[in-house]
Amino acid sequence: MKKHVYTDLLALFGIGGAHPGGLELTKTILLKENLSGKKLLEVGCGTGQSSLFIKSLGIEVTPIDYHPLMIEKANKRFAEQNLELQALKMNIEACGLEDGSFDFILAESVLSFTNTNNSLPELLRVLGENGTIIAIEMTKKSTLPTELESRMKKFYGMPAIMTKQEWENQFVTSGFKGVDISTYSLEDLEPAEPDIDPSSDIDEAFFEVMHQHEKLTKESQTHIALSIIRAHR
C-alpha cells in the first residue's frame, strides 16, 4: 500500500469519518450488530473517531492504520478521553496479526485504497470462525465516464473503482461467505458533521489538493454510490 498525497491531506487536516454519511452512518450500522463480548479490529482507523465510539460501547477494539500522523492523532484522541486504547501502525495487506484473532472487522473507506487481492485474504486470515466484516466503500455506477475514473484513480491513489458486482466477486474470490451489499446514492445520505484535528504546519500546497478533492467530489457525485458490504468467514 503506497502512501499518497490524498492520505496525507486527510492526516494533516485530521479528518475523521471521511466517507459519506460519516460517523452517524457508522453508528447506525454498528448498533444493528451484536458486538457484545466480541473482539473488533478497525482497519484504517484514521484519527480514531469510530474506535472511540466502539470503545464507549464497552467493546474490545484494536485500531490500526498505515499513516503515522493518523496514528499519532488517534492516540492523542484516546489519551484526551483517558482511554486505555492504542492505535497501531500496520499495513492491512500484510499486518502480522494472529490468525483468527478477531470476531468482527470494520473497514471504512479503506479497501478501495488497497490491492484487494492482498488485503481481503489478509483480513479473512485474521477473522475468526463465523466472524463478520463490514466495509463501507466507494462504488461506481455504470455512468462513470472512463476519463473521470482515470483522474479519480490517479488523484486518490486507488488501484480500481469497483462496481457492486465487482466488490461481490472480489469478496467471494477471497474466500468470504454470505456476501451482502447494500448500495446508496450519495444524494440519499445525510451530510456528515465534520470532525477535524488540523496540524499547525500545513503546507500551502495541501489547500490546493483540498480544492482538487472538492472539485472531483462534485464532478463524480452522480456517478458514485456508497456500498455497505457485510460478509462472513
Helix residue ranges, H only, 81-204 = 116-126, 146-156, 164-173
Q: How confident is the model at residue 177 (pLDDT cuts 50, 70, 90)?
A: very high
Q: How confident is the model at residue 29 (pLDDT cuts 50, 70, 90)?
A: very high
Q: Which of 93, 111, 92, 64 is nearest to 227 (CA)?
A: 111
Whole-model pTM: value is 0.92
Q: How confident is the model at residue 1 (pLDDT cuts 50, 70, 90)?
A: very low
Domain parsing of the chain, residue ranges: 5-232
Does the pLDDT at position 194 exceed 90?
A: no
Length of the chain (residues) = 233
Give the pLDDT confidence score for residue 42 in this predicted structure: 98
Where in 72-223 does DSSP place strands (E)? Answer: 88-89, 102-108, 127-140, 177-185
Give the span between the Cα atoms of 210 and 13, in whole angstroms.
10
Which of 82 and 11 is assigned the larger pLDDT?
82
Q: What is the mean pLDDT of residues 60-77?
A: 95
> Which positions ≥6 away from 101 have C-beta within 8 Å?
39, 41, 126, 128
Which CATH architecture describes the domain 5-232? Answer: 3-Layer(aba) Sandwich (3.40)
